[in-house]
Amino acid sequence: MWEGRAHGVRRDVTALASAGLDVAELHAAAIALVDRVVPCELTCWASMDPDSGAISSMTSGVNRIPAQYEPVLASCEYTPGEPHTFAALAQRGDTVARLEDKRSTRLNEVWRPLGLSHELRVLFRADHTCWGAAGVVRTSEFSEREVEFLASVAPALGAATRLAARTGARRSHPLHDAPAIIVVATDGTIRASTASATRWRDELEEVAPGRFAVMLRAAAAGARTGAFKARVRDAHGGWILLEASELLSDDSSEAAVTISRASGAELMGLLLKAHGVTAREQDVCHEVLAGQPTSEIAARLDISPYTVQDHLKSLFAKFGVRSRAELVAKLS
């Protein structure tokens, strides 16, 4: 019975992916499918930047988390030591995990005050890359059959989320948007900012309450372990780029966070990964975009012209084009 249900959900998810839905639309529809088999009081699904592991978008179920808890819950995803964050699960390679650590901030400060006590998380992967994740929360424990069901449908959800990431990957707002530079302390306090920071705050708050503060804290935390870069969705299907680097002073550690509209170049890697392009195919693709002929590509990459042609055929098939010109137009 359970395998039959899993097969049915995988089939329906594949059909949704083929319908050209964006990530939010796909996840909203898939939430309804999964809830029929694994019911819960609250659920939140995320798409994730495949390079940084940062959350790009969030979609809730029918019942939304009360607004006052959303900033706390979102902050937990970037708090060192918080168990089973989406990024940590993705890094470990887990597919399904129960929250059992009693020290969890989201358990003690979000779920328990709401009368909930059990959380299950599932990661959506495609070709070993994590494209999204979901958290489901309820009052009763999750059975082993429910855990097995979610693990069974997770690959289909990963493939569908990757496909949906192509929708809007080239979408952006006018390029006259002025970037903002914000100096953030380790506790998330803003020490200084340029005038355009207010507009970016309003735009991120349109995505979800508290999103601006959460992303600043995430960027500052990422900067402490090296340069941070993440692409996140805006409220209209476009993309915003966050970058951060650490600033060292005598009395404190601060990070300089830059918020800007994601350019076509910044979205290129996402688009290539979303189409399942291999590392070597990416190399060939970049050379094609630079206008290099086959002989020059072969020499630059130390491969034969025949191998270049094989990679081009694969690229044409993945992007549904028939020539270099069409491929360049597709990616421009």
Task: Please write the tens of the pLDDT for every residue from 65-94.
Answer: 888 888 788 878 888 789 999 989 998 999
Neighbours of 282 (CB within 10 A): 16
Distance CA 10, CA 246 (A): 43
Fold match flag (2-165 vs 180-264): yes
* Fold of the CATH domain 277-331: Arc Repressor Mutant, subunit A (1.10.10)
Distance CA 262, CA 243 (A): 11
* Least confident piece of the model among 1-10, 223-232, 267-276, 299-308: 223-232
What are residue 59's phi and psi, to 5 degrees? -135, 125
On whether the CB atoms of residues 193 and 182 are closer than 8 A, the answer is: yes
Domain boundaries, the chain: 2-165, 180-264, 277-331
Query: The tokens 């995320």 sit on which residue?
Result: 46
Query: The tokens 């098939």 sit on which residue?
Result: 317
On whether the CB atoms of residues 277 and 270 are closer than 8 A, the answer is: no
Give me the residues paired with residue 193 across strands. Answer: 182
- pLDDT greater than 80 at residue 187: no
Among 47-56, 169-178, 313-322, the range of highest mean pLDDT: 313-322
Give the mean model confidence (pLDDT) for residues 255-260: 93
The pTM for the full model equals 0.82
Q: Residue 57: what pLDDT?
A: 86
Cβ neighbours for 205, distance < 8 A, ≥ 6 positions apart: 211, 212
CATH H-level superfamily of 2-165? GAF domain (3.30.450.40)
Q: Residue 78: what pLDDT?
A: 80
Second-level CATH architecture of 180-264: 2-Layer Sandwich (3.30)
Give the mean model confidence (pLDDT) for residues 121-125: 96
Average pLDDT of every residue of the chain: 88
Confidence of residue 28 (pLDDT cuts 50, 70, 90): very high
- pLDDT greater than 80 at residue 227: no
